[in-house]
């Protein structure tokens, strides 16, 4: 549905995106992930035909965004980052205007506008001035204008930014409900959002794509093992050998011992849960098992590794933590 | 071409915001004052000529009331029209709504046409309201409708040019004030060009005279339809609109 082929956009001497390629199949929800200034908005602006690329090509619904821009525009719904709306217009007339500009026939328009207001939960404010609405309502009006013409492809730039937790949940479930009939590409820098809403993810950093694919396979690709942390009060060399003897265990690292017990980080083949065996082993040896936990490998770790791996890792961890808290 | 929805939206914005009402009020207030003083002066002159029949032969209500009125209205327009057009693109750019508007399935030309026509219709309504003045005149005196009609045609053509210049200025910036001042500056320059024509003399003088934007309006209010004047306004308008389209496209590439 969306095919991006070696796309590059220069702002003067600065390249906002370099040689970006990816594709999105019909009915998918794809998360476009990256730190601020990575080139997410630039890519979306090109896809939405707002500006042409410097080189490379992009096709939406089979049409080129530059050469067949009108055909593309007929088939997309776009929500720019800061949700620009006409603050002097009322909600229902505004949506009617958008529907008319997008070519929805007079007969269909009233029904479509009413329908979209119901879906986006804005029917109760339909006669209010958009400028007087709260941020959450404005965001939903923005989403409503994107879907009012029932487009094949939705391009949503940070659709949940600046909303409160309840509104975020509502918008997410609305976006999820669009899957299947619409192809959705949404950008965000909130990691849990991607795992919750999207089928696949594209991670972009400094204008270049660093990882892409379905979330599970991406995690597998970057972390082919599962990791367990265990704390056992016993003689470290013996404990290490015993754990290593368990089938499936690949490596064992010990960490700083505390109060006579030592912590071990155990890596095992992915899909193999060795926790029960560790417990049995410790019980047999009459060693005290103080802690046993699985360390989950999530998209966050993938993101940190690919985006911030080469630079300061702590800063990225802090940013992700802050985003996680914000969502 | 989906001009109609854009046109409707712009009209709605003019009338739901106070812009249209304030412009109408101020325009009619000043226009009314000019009309009153011109008409009162004419009344006095007619009273004097009643005692001096020789002078009366020179008096003509079309020539001494309507012609100066049209020329005074032109000056009000020079001040007011930049305020009507400044919003059209500058505000869309400032608010970011241009990003949505230019990704809807409408061509830049249709967006421009919708906005331009909205301003033009607003303007037509505005000068349409001044028909009240000749209507008052006709109650007291015999008016020649021909020159009045061509006078209005002249105003319409000149306004169309003012608006085109204003739309162009508005497409250059995201600041409405900058757009208004630029429009005003350009229009004023093209007005005062005519003043220096007298000193320049010769070919230079004729060129300057020809470039003057208000000069061309005078023959209309005399009841003369000169292709030279019509072409001047039509070409000026077309050039400004063409430049606006180019400016919209340039902005796209710059992002």
- Please spell the DSSP secondary structure of chain B, one letter per residue: --HHHHHHHHHHHHHHSSHHHHHHHHHHHHHHHHHHHHHHHHHHHHHHHTT-HHHHTT--HIIIIIHHHHHHHHHHHHHHHHHHHTHHHHHHHHHTHHHHHTTSS--HHHHHHHHHHHHHHHHHHHHHGGGHHHHHHHHHS---HHHHHHHHHHHHHHHHHHHHHHHHHHHH-S-HHHHHHHHHHHHHHHHHHHHHHHHH-HHHHHHHHHH-TTHHHHHHHTT---HHHHHHHHHHHHHHHHHHHHHHHHHHHH-
Contacts of A250-254 spanning 24+ positions with Cβ under 8 A: A250/A225
From A176, A192, A215, give the residue that closes a domain: A215
Query: What mean pLDDT comes out for the span A58-69?
Result: 91
List chain A residues with CB under 8 Å of B5. Answer: 97, 100-101
* A66 lies in the same domain as A169: yes
For residue B109, the distance in angstroms to the closest alpha carbon of chain A comes to 13
CA proximity to B20, closest of B166, B119, B131, B156: B119
In this structure, is residue A317 part of a structural domain? no
In this structure, is residue A34 part of a structural domain? yes
Inter-chain CB proximity A93 and B12 less than 8 Å: yes
- Mean pLDDT for all residues in chain B: 90
In this structure, is residue A101 part of a structural domain? yes
CATH number of residue A52's parent domain: 3.40.50.300
* A127 lies in the same domain as A162: yes
Residue A84, token pair as written in the block? 């620009």
* A243 lies in the same domain as A121: no
List chain B residues with CB under 8 Å of A93. Answer: 12
Query: Where are chain B's structural domains?
Result: 3-254
* A37 lies in the same domain as A146: yes
* pLDDT value for A230: 86
Rounded to a whole number of angstroms, the distance between the first and last alpha carbons of chain A is 29
- Please give the distance of CA B10 from its chain centroid, rounded to a whole number: 18
* pLDDT value for B130: 93
**pTM of the predicted structure, to 2 decimals:** 0.84
Task: State the number of CA atoms in the 13 A half-sphere of A324 facing the CB.
Answer: 13
* pLDDT value for A316: 46
List chain A residues with CB under 8 Å of B99. Answer: 45, 50, 80, 84
Strand bridging mode A76-79 / A153-157:
parallel
Which SS3 state, helix, strand or coil, does residue A25 take?
A: coil
From A194, A215, A236, give the residue that closes a domain: A215
pLDDT digits (tens, 9 = 90+) for B76-128: 999 999 999 999 999 999 999 999 999 999 999 999 999 999 999 999 999 99
* A54 lies in the same domain as A168: yes
For residue A85, the distance in angstroms to the closest alpha carbon of chain B comes to 6
Residue A314 has pLDDT above 50, yes or no: no
Length of chain A: 327
In this structure, is residue A54 part of a structural domain? yes
* pLDDT value for A38: 84
pLDDT digits (tens, 9 = 90+) for A75-90: 999 999 889 999 989 9
Inter-chain CB proximity B100 and A100 less than 8 Å: no
List chain A residues with CB under 8 Å of B7. Answer: none
In this structure, is residue A266 part of a structural domain? yes
Name the residue range of residue A208's domain: 2-215
Least confident stretch, A176-180, B37-41, B189-193: A176-180
* A204 lies in the same domain as A250: no
Burial of A15 (0-12, 13-18, 19+ CB in 10 A): middle
* A94 lies in the same domain as A17: yes
* A207 lies in the same domain as A251: no
* A164 lies in the same domain as A231: no
Chosen for mutation from B105, B106, B249 (greatest number of chain A CBs closer than 10 Å) is B105
CATH number of residue A266's parent domain: 3.30.70.260
* A76 lies in the same domain as A107: yes
For residue A78, the distance in angstroms to the closest alpha carbon of chain B comes to 7
Burial A155-192 (b: 16+ CB within 10 A, else e): bbbbbbbebeeebbebbbebbeebeeebbbbbbbbbbe
For residue A92, the distance in angstroms to the closest alpha carbon of chain B comes to 13
Q: How many domains does chain A fold into?
A: 2
* A40 lies in the same domain as A130: yes
- Which residues face A253 on adjacent strands? A265
* A261 lies in the same domain as A113: no
């Amino acid at each position: 549905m969306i095919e991006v082929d070696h796309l590059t956009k220069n702002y003067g001497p600065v390249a906002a995106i370099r040689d970006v390629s990816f594709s999105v199949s019909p009915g998918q929800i794809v998360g476009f992930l990256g730190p601020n200034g990575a080139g997410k908005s630039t890519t979306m602006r090109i896809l939405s035909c707002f500006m042409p690329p410097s080189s490379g090509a992009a096709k939406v619904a089979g049409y080129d965004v530059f050469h067949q821009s009108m055909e593309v525009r007929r088939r997309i719904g776009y929500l720019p980052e800061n949700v620009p709306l006409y603050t002097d217009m009322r909600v229902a007339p505004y949506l009617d205007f958008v529907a008319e500009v997008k070519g929805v026939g007079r007969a269909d328009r009233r029904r479509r506008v009413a329908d979209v207001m119901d879906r986006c939960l804005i029917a109760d404010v339909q006669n209010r001035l958009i400028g007087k609405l709260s941020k959450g309502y404005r965001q939903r009006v923005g989403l409503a204008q994107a879907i009012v013409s029932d487009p094949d492809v939705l391009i949503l730039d940070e659709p949940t930014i600046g909303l409160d937790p309840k509104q975020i949940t509502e918008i997410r479930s609305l976006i999820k409900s669009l899957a299947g009939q619409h192809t959705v590409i949404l950008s965000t820098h909130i990691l849990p959002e991607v795992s919750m809403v999207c089928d696949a993810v594209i991670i972009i950093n400094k204008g270049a794509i660093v990882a892409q694919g379905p979330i599970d396979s991406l995690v597998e690709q970057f972390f082919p093992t599962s990791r367990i942390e265990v704390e056992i009060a016993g003689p470290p060399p013996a404990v290490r050998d015993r754990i290593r003897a368990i089938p499936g265990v690949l490596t064992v690292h010990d960490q700083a011992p505390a109060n006579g017990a030592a912590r071990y980080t155990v890596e095992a083949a992915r899909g193999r849960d060795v926790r029960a065996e560790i417990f049995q082993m410790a019980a047999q040896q009459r060693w005290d098992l103080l802690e046993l936990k699985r360390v989950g490998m999530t998209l966050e770790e993938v993101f940190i590794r690919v985006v911030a791996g080469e630079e300061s890792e702590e800063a990225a961890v802090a940013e992700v933590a802050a985003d996680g808290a914000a969502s | 071409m989906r001009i109609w929805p854009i046109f409707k939206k712009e009209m709605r914005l003019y009338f739901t915001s106070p812009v249209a009402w304030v412009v109408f009020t101020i325009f009619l207030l000043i226009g009314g004052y000019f009309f009153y003083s011109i008409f009162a002066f004419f009344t006095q002159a007619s009273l004097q000529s009643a005692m001096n029949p020789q002078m009366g032969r020179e008096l003509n209500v079309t020539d001494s009331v309507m012609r100066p009125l049209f020329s005074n209205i032109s000056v009000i327009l020079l001040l007011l029209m930049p305020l009507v057009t400044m919003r059209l693109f500058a505000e869309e750019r400032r608010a970011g709504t241009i990003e949505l508007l230019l990704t809807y399935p409408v061509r830049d030309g249709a967006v421009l046409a919708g906005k331009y026509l909205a301003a033009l219709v607003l303007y037509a309504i505005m000068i349409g309201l001044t028909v009240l003045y000749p209507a008052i005149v006709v109650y007291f005196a015999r008016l020649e409708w021909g020159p009045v009609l061509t006078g209005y045609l002249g105003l319409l053509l000149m306004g169309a040019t003012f608006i085109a210049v204003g739309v162009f200025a508005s497409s250059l910036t995201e600041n409405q004030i900058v757009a208004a001042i630029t429009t005003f500056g350009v229009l004023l320059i093209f007005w005062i060009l005519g003043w220096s024509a007298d000193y320049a003399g010769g070919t230079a003088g004729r060129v300057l005279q020809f470039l003057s934007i208000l000069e061309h309006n005078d023959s209309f209010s005399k009841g003369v339809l000169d292709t030279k004047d019509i072409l001047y306004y039509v070409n000026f308008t077309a050039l400004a609109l063409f430049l606006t389209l180019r400016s919209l496209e340039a902005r796209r590439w710059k992002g």
